Amino acid sequence: MPVYNLYSSSAASCTLAAVGFSECRQAKRLCSAYSTTAINAAIATLSATVTSNRALAVAEHTFDADARTALDTALSAAVAAEESARIAAVNTLTTTISTEATNRAAAISSEATSRAAAITTVTDAVNVEKGRIDAILASAAVDLDTLKEISDAFAAADTTTLSTIATMQTQLTALQATVDQLVNGN
């Protein structure tokens, strides 16, 4: 804040030393032009202005400090709220991920157990069928080790069977003709 000093040695002369305000220079000019009463009035006006300016500066400083404190408090509260919200979100995500990982591990374990049981069931069924096929092949007169051999043997047997049936059909037709002749008396 500016400092004002007023020194008066006589009614005709006056010295005003002021630091920082242009009003003080104007007051100094007034000192040389006016009487002591006018100078005292000017000093009173300047003193009131200085007091008012000081009060405004103090009020502004107080307002700035109060506003800054309020803003700092609001900002700190906002930062704390955001931090709490982020921590809660991270905790929620961590719980969700942990639950999902546990569920996936349980599902994989269950699927592995189911697949192992299915493989055992299929293996048992294959072994049963293999046993049946081995029993069929073991009772065959010919060594039938492959499906090709079985198919060829069946085709050969089928051809023989068809030939036998054709021969029997021919014989049956001839017998029928003979029976018909005997019955009709020819």
pTM of the model: 0.36
Measured distance CA(2)–CA(8) in Å, rounded:
20
3-state SS, residue 13: coil
Q: How far apart are CA 37 and CA 93, in angstroms?
A: 82
Secondary structure (3-state) at 21: coil
Q: Is the pLDDT of residue 21 over 60?
A: no
Which residues, other chains included, contact 24 with Cβ-Cβ below 8 Å and sequence gap of 6+?
2, 4, 16, 17, 18, 46
User: Which range scores top for mean pLDDT: 21-30, 105-114, 156-165?
Assistant: 105-114
Calpha distance 49→66 (Å, rounded): 25
Tell me the pLDDT tens digit for each residue of 48-66: 888 877 777 776 666 666 7
How far apart CA 127 and CA 141 sit, in angstroms, is 24
pLDDT tens-digit profile of 126-159? 999 999 888 877 776 667 677 787 788 888 888 8
Longest alpha-carbon distance in the chain: 191
Q: What is the pLDDT of residue 72?
A: 84
DSSP string, 140-184: -SS---SHHHHHHHHHHHHHHHHHHHHHHHHHHHHHHHHHHHHHH
